[in-house]
Amino acid sequence: MKKLLTGNEAIAEGIIESGVEVVSGYPGTPSTEVITSLIPMAKDLNIRVEWDINEKVALEIAAGAAWAGKRAMVTMKMSGLNVAADSLCSIAYSGFTGGLVIYVADDPGTAAGMTEQDSRYCAKSMIIPMLDASNQQETLDFTKIAFGVSERIGGPVFLRLTSEVAHVASDVQYEESIFKDKSTPFFERNIAKYSKAKALFCMNQHQEALDRLEEARKIADLEIEIDKIHYEGKLGVIVSGSPWMNLEEAISKYKLKLSWLKLGMIYPFSQKTIKSFLDKVDKVLILEELDPFIEEEILKIAGQYEKKIKIMGKLDNTLPKVGNYSFDIVKKALETFLEIKLENEVSQEIVEKAKNLEVSRPSSFCAGCPHRGTYYALNQAIKQLKYKKEDIIVSGDIGCNFLGANPPFNSCWSEVSMGASIGIAQGLKLAGIEKPVIATLGDGTFFHSGIAPLINAVYHNIPLTIIILDNGWTAQTGFQENPGTVDLNEGKKNKKIELIDLVKGCGVKNVFLTDPYQYKDTLEILKEAIKYKGVSVVISRRECALQASKRKVSLPKYTVNIEKCIGCRKCIKELACPAMSFSFSKENKKGVMQITSACFGCGLCKSICPTGAIEVIANED
């Protein structure tokens, strides 16, 4: 039977078919949808699925389950793997009795922003086998294989996808049968295996991790044949991951005669398979996105040969290290490699002309977004305290709140990683920046990694203003819940954590709470917080407007009184609200300002209109 599944949904299907009992993770594009697609089914399937506070905690939870002999999966994007790395490395040394698969999604081409980090190097540095799936069917198959291998070797296995596999859907063959583990959870007390208390323990564990790696390779070669090989001539392509799909397209479209080796397990490499492939070819093209991870290995092996094998890839600049590999890039690399022209160049002139005509649509806050009010008030507070905007550094953070860097607000100066806004701000102060430094971050980001740097700022008594834009959700990745989310779902036992208590508990004396829909109050509070000579925290709290509308929260809407409107467009220029529309008409030379049905009712435009032309629509009831 077949289903239309994205790579992420295929992993979810693989989790179900593999009888996994615990699934943990932290949202991060392009990895998020594994857990979001499992959550609605979790109860019926009797799988514990949860979003955790950050990737490190999520990994520890999944590892704990594997220590008790169960199958567990943890999901994250490449940036999250950095967060989880400390614990993961230690757990990879110890091993376990259950099965643990770490799903990590890399993002060549940065569909979602962030670095183009290549997580394959983590497999090498942490001594963990890694599978790299090249399409959605393989993703489902590899998920099941990964659990099998993990359980056999007693150590973690990485499953890696890139955005192109994670987010694209295709027809996937699935099975009804589900693996059932009937064992009772059991964790054996074994200090030599599960602690790092002696040098001898650590070195023994190191050796065992290396042995597991070798064992995984043996299973992959002898029992699964995870690397696929095809011989057709002396020209060969070595490929892994999503570029495979475009290679296959090119082979079919241009009827190419090529030998190819598709690597499924990309760490550790199969020396035997690679050697038998190199035996039969004279010239090789390495097709892999991001760093020359495979290419370096192939060069090493090819160097042992007496015959000369020409290796083409990134190191000779046939292919780029940056961005994802579109069909065009693959086609051009094949043209260089095969020394033929596959297709006549189509004139790019029309494409260029179209590009020049395109309308640019900068991302802005949604209609009713509470962050709009916070950043507007912050800019005004800076102005009213007689600072120049260009003198006040606002250290931004990951999430929707960073849209405050875009026009018309132009508030944030930098974005690093989850929670980093606070630490960076401290460093700027220590460097001697005398004017106030402000850090802005969302509630989800604060819970994830903002608490430790906040405590650090209080402990060292660094004068800082930290604004937590608390919209109650981990919104940017698609509205996941976090410990501050209002608990609305029936039957849930989750306990809500109050941010005010948490911040006070970190030792902050000056904590303010404001509602960004109340412009004047927010402005005064921000001025007071910025003037304070210690750590002050402003919690700017209002639920994400998109989530609030989904929950049927309804506020009075606004309209423009055309008689009073002078057509100055202050509202549209300074707030950039998608619910506002402006047009010229023959009858009305000053232009017609309108508020559309997209209005959520935040009322910010009313607060700033110089002529009082924006009015509440009288309740129709």
Partner 1 sequence: MKTDFYFVGLGGQGIIKLSEMIAHYGMEIGEKVKFYKEVGLAQRGSSAHGEVRIGDVFGSRIPPFSADVMVGMEFSEVLKGIKFIKPEGIVILSDRKIYPIDMMSEIEKYPKDEDIINLLNRQKVKLIQIKAAEIAEEIKFPKAENIILLGVLAEIISLDKVVLIKVLKQHVPGRFIEQNLIAFDRGVDIAKKYCN
Residues at the interface with partner 1 (CB under 8 A): 2-4, 29, 111-113, 135, 164-165, 167-171, 242, 245-246, 248-249, 252-253, 326-328, 331, 346, 350-351, 353-355, 357-364, 366-367, 403, 407-408, 476, 546, 569, 572-573, 576-578, 580-584, 591, 598
Q: Which is nearer to partner 1, 39 or 576 (CB)?
A: 576
Query: How many Å apart are CA 28 and CA 78, to the nearest integer?
Result: 9
Q: What is the DSSP string of 267-282?
A: ES--HHHHHHHHHH-S
Q: How far is the CB of 245 from partner 1 (least distance, A)?
A: 5
Strands 2-6 and 169-173, bridge-based pairing:
antiparallel
Q: Which element (helix H / strand E) includes 607?
A: helix 604-608
Q: Which is nearer to partner 1, 96 or 325 (CB)?
A: 325
Q: How does 186-214 read in b/e, with b if 16+ C-beta sit within 10 Å?
A: eeeeeeebbeeeeeebeeebeebbeebbe
Closest listed residue to residue 610, CA positions, set 569, 580, 573, 575? 569
Q: How far is the CB of 278 from partner 1 (least distance, A)?
A: 26
Q: Which is nearer to partner 1, 7 or 64 (CB)?
A: 7
Task: Enter the tokens of residue 43.
Answer: 């109860």
Q: How far is the CB of 390 from partner 1 (least distance, A)?
A: 21
Q: How far is the CB of 289 from partner 1 (least distance, A)?
A: 13
Q: Which is nearer to partner 1, 457 or 475 (CB)?
A: 475
Q: Which is nearer to partner 1, 463 or 591 (CB)?
A: 591
Q: Which is nearer to partner 1, 583 or 619 (CB)?
A: 583
Q: Which is nearer to partner 1, 169 or 315 (CB)?
A: 169
Q: How many CB atoms lie within 10 A of CB 528?
A: 15
Closest listed residue to residue 284, CA positions, set 251, 264, 263, 259? 259
Query: How many Å apart are CA 417 and CA 28, to the nearest integer?
Result: 12
CA atoms within 13 A on the CB side of 547: 19
List the beta bridge partners of residue 560.
Answer: 614
Q: How far is the CB of 606 from partner 1 (least distance, A)?
A: 18
Q: How far is the CB of 476 from partner 1 (least distance, A)?
A: 7
Task: Enter the tokens of residue 432.
Answer: 């001697």
Inter-residue long-range contacts of 59-63, CB under 8 Å, 24+ positions, other chains counted: 59/24, 59/84, 59/87, 59/88, 59/91, 59/102, 60/87, 61/22, 61/24, 62/22, 62/23, 62/24, 62/100, 62/102, 63/87, 63/88, 63/91, 63/96, 63/100, 63/156
Q: Which is nearer to partner 1, 392 or 580 (CB)?
A: 580
Q: How many CB atoms lie within 10 A of CB 228?
A: 15
Task: Enter the tokens of residue 223.
Answer: 């029992």
SS3 284: strand
Q: How far is the CB of 548 from partner 1 (least distance, A)?
A: 13
C-alpha distance from residue 521 to each of 369, 389, 525 (Å)? 17, 21, 6
Task: Give Dmax over CA atoms of the chain in angstroms.
Answer: 88
Q: How far is the CB of 326 from partner 1 (least distance, A)?
A: 7
Q: Which is nearer to partner 1, 555 or 598 (CB)?
A: 598
Q: How far is the CB of 438 from partner 1 (least distance, A)?
A: 23
Query: How many Å apart are CA 307 and CA 325, to the nearest integer?
Result: 31
Q: Which is nearer to partner 1, 112 or 381 (CB)?
A: 112
Q: How far is the CB of 228 from partner 1 (least distance, A)?
A: 14
Q: Which is nearer to partner 1, 7 or 155 (CB)?
A: 7
Q: How far is the CB of 194 from partner 1 (least distance, A)?
A: 41
